[in-house]
Structure formats: C-alpha cells, structure tokens
C-alpha cells in the first residue's frame, strides 16, 4: 500500500504554531474597493484556528 499524502492545499494555507494552527484572514486578495475600511482593517494579519475547524485541518495535515 502506498504512503498517505498530506493535503497539498492545506499545507499552503495553514502554519503550525506552538499551540495550534494559524491562518490568513479571508477576503483580502482583490476587489477591495467595495469593502468598507473597517472590514479591510479587521481582516489584516493572521488568526488562530479553533474548535471543529482545527480538528478537520489537523486531519488534513497529519497524513
């Protein structure tokens, strides 16, 4: 049986930290003129994965 592979899309989008995983905020790539300044400012930087999402992404990355 062949080796299981990690999910290549998840590898590109999530980084492991000491306590979990971090991800980039959504809605920051293009067509930003229609978003309010507040929405763009709050989407800056990274955030941590929590709860059920963390379990799902961990499964994708551990294979």
Class of 8-62 in CATH: few secondary structures
Please provide the average confidence, as pLDDT, over all residues in the chain: 93
Q: What is the average per-residue pLDDT within 2-21?
A: 92
How far apart CA 60 and CA 38 sit, in angstroms, is 33
8 Å CB contact between 21 and 56: no
Confidence at residue 13, expressed as pLDDT on a 0 to 100 scale: 95
Q: Indicate whether 60 pLDDT > 80.
A: yes
Q: Indicate whether 62 pLDDT > 90.
A: no
Q: Indicate whether 63 pLDDT > 80.
A: no
CA dihedral 10, 15, 63, 29 (to 10 degrees): 0
Domain boundaries, the chain: 8-62
- CA Rg value for the chain: 15
Q: Convert the pLDDT of each residue in 38-57 to its tens digit.
A: 999 999 999 999 999 999 99
How far apart CA 41 and CA 39 sit, in angstroms, is 6
Q: Indicate whether 25 pLDDT > 80.
A: yes
């Amino acid at each position: 049986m062949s080796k299981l592979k990690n999910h290549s899309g998840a590898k590109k989008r999530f980084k492991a930290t000491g306590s979990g995983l971090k991800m980039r905020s959504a809605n920051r790539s293009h067509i930003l003129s229609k978003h309010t300044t507040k929405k763009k400012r709050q989407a800056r930087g990274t955030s941590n994965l929590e709860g059920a999402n963390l379990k799902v992404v961990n499964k994708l990355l551990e294979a």
